[in-house]
Amino acid sequence: MSWTSIISAIVIGAHGIGHILGWGPAIKLTWESPTTNLNSWLFDGASARVMATLLFGIATIGFIATAFAMYTDQPWMRTTAITSAVISLLATIIFPHALPLSSIIGCTIVNIGVLVLVGTLQFPR
What's the number of domains the chain is made of? Answer: 1
Residue 125 lies in a domain: no
Cβ atoms of 53 and 23 within 8 Å: the answer is yes
The pLDDT assigned to 27 comes to: 82
Predicted confidence (pLDDT) per residue in 35-82, tens digit: 788 889 899 888 998 999 999 999 999 999 999 999 999 999 999 999
Residue 70 lies in a domain: yes
Nearest CA to 102 out of 8, 33, 23, 4 is that of 33
pTM above 0.85, yes or no: yes
Cβ atoms of 36 and 100 within 8 Å: the answer is yes
Nearest CA to 53 out of 40, 66, 35, 67 is that of 40
Domain with 56 in it? 3-120
Helix 3-18 and helix 101-114, axial crossing angle in degrees, nearest 10: 140
Residue 104 lies in a domain: yes
Residue 111 lies in a domain: yes
